Structure 1
Amino acid sequence: MEWLLDNGWIIWLILFLGLAAVETITLDLFFIMLSVGALGGLVAALTGVGAVLQIVVFAVVSLLMILLVRPVAVRHLRKGPADQLDNMDRLIGATALALEPVTSLSGTVKIGGDTWTARSADGVPLPAGARVSVARIDGATAVVEPALSGPDGPPPIVHD
């Protein structure tokens, strides 16, 4: 036990590396913040402070990283160019063909060559063969509404 107290920095180093390894699996920027806290505990151990103060340094650094740094880092990582839409955003407003009746509970539509489960946005049933517009994506389900007809007839189905 005395050896462990004299060489506590080894425990902090193992904790630092272990938490960093877990972060590589989860990729949610939580464990890396704890890893930085363990790095703070490692520095405290190397300066010769007691075990209780090392734990306090770990807790304070980890908490500050989670509360102050993580939200900024997550926002920065998820922010893309304004003109670049992800795959789900590209589908919103696209026209589709109802392959079977679409109700508020079930149905299928074809969007650009892909078959999606669908449900009606306003609960009004849509018949098979109807042209619909994607209002939003809810998980793996396209929430659709009747497509508006323009002066040239109904909008065409979008094929990517």
Structure 2
Amino acid sequence: MDAWVLWLIAAGILLVFEMMTLTFYLLWLSLGAAVAAIVALVVPDAYILQVVAGCVVAIVLTIFTKPLSRKFRSSSKGFEDAGTELIGRQGVVVEPIEEGQFGIVKIGGDTWSATSARSLKKDELVRVLKRSSTILEVERWEDFT
């Protein structure tokens, strides 16, 4: 089998792995392997030149696109957790909350497990102080206002 075919297969495999990881590093290696395939097609017996060309392309792309990818990551807010918008919102106690125990609080149309430093009765208004995983920490609404 010709060397250019092997380089092309390597480029394809790296591209498939890049699609699964979305890191961009494997993309640059894939493009380096594609360049090595082109060099192997033009100069079939220069194996060292194929490897060097592929490595140079991969390294140059990695170095020069790192600031660009960092800029894209910092400029986009990305995924924001829906639970962070709950902090400060008002809710109502559905199941009473005892000190050290969990209860249920309804905020908007969603119900959440909640805890509080004070006992809270059913139908009391509460404000969300913070969220940790799926449990909210709340306080009586009157304590807030």
Q: TM-score, normalised by structure 1?
A: 0.55
Instruction: Give secondary structure in 2 for the equivalent of 1:21.
Output: helix
Q: CA distance change for structure 1 residues 18 and 113 in 2, over 3 Å: closer, same or farther?
A: same
Q: Percent identity?
A: 26
Q: CA distance change for structure 1 residues 113 and 11 in 2, over 3 Å: closer, same or farther?
A: same
Q: CA distance change for structure 1 residues 21 and 113 in 2, over 3 Å: closer, same or farther?
A: same
The question of 1:61 aligning with 2:54 is answered: no
Residues in 2 aligned to 1:90 and 1:115: alpha-carbon distance in whole angstroms: 15
Q: Which has the larger radius of gyration?
A: 2
Which of 24, 46, 51 is the equivalent residue of 2:47? Answer: 51
Asked whether the 8 Å contact 1:95–1:134 carries over to 2, the reply is no
Asked whether the 8 Å contact 1:102–1:127 carries over to 2, the reply is yes
Instruction: Give unmatched runs, 5+ long, in structure 1.
Output: 151-160
Which of 113, 116, 135 is the equivalent residue of 2:109? Answer: 113
Instruction: Give unmatched runs, 5+ long, in structure 2.
Output: none
The question of 1:14 aligning with 2:21 is answered: no
Asked whether the 8 Å contact 1:96–1:134 carries over to 2, the reply is no
Q: How does 1:62-141 map to 2 (within 5 A)?
A: 62-70=58-66, 72-73=68-69, 75-76=71-72, 79-80=75-76, 86-88=80-82, 90-96=85-91, 110-116=106-112, 125=117, 127=119, 131-133=126-128, 135=130, 140-141=133-134
Q: CA distance change for structure 1 residues 37 and 85 in 2, over 3 Å: closer, same or farther?
A: closer
Q: How does 1:28-47 map to 2 (within 5 A)?
A: 28-47=23-42
Q: String of CA shifts for 1:85-124, please: whole Å, max 9, x gaps.
A: 84435445444567675999x8875544334567x8xxx8
Instruction: Give secondary structure in 1 for the equivalent of 2:144.
Output: coil
Residues in 1 aligned to 2:24 and 2:89: alpha-carbon distance in whole angstroms: 34
Residues in 2 aligned to 1:102 and 1:74: alpha-carbon distance in whole angstroms: 47
Instruction: Give secondary structure in 2 for the equivalent of 1:131.
Output: strand
Asked whether the 8 Å contact 2:25–2:62 carries over to 1, the reply is yes
Structure 1 match to 2:22: 27
Asked whether the 8 Å contact 1:101–1:107 carries over to 2, the reply is yes
Residues in 2 aligned to 1:14 and 1:102: alpha-carbon distance in whole angstroms: 63
Asked whether the 8 Å contact 2:15–2:26 carries over to 1, the reply is yes
Instruction: Give secondary structure in 2 for the equivalent of 1:54.
Output: helix
Residue identity in the other structure for 1:60: V
Residues in 1 aligned to 2:98 and 2:13: alpha-carbon distance in whole angstroms: 49
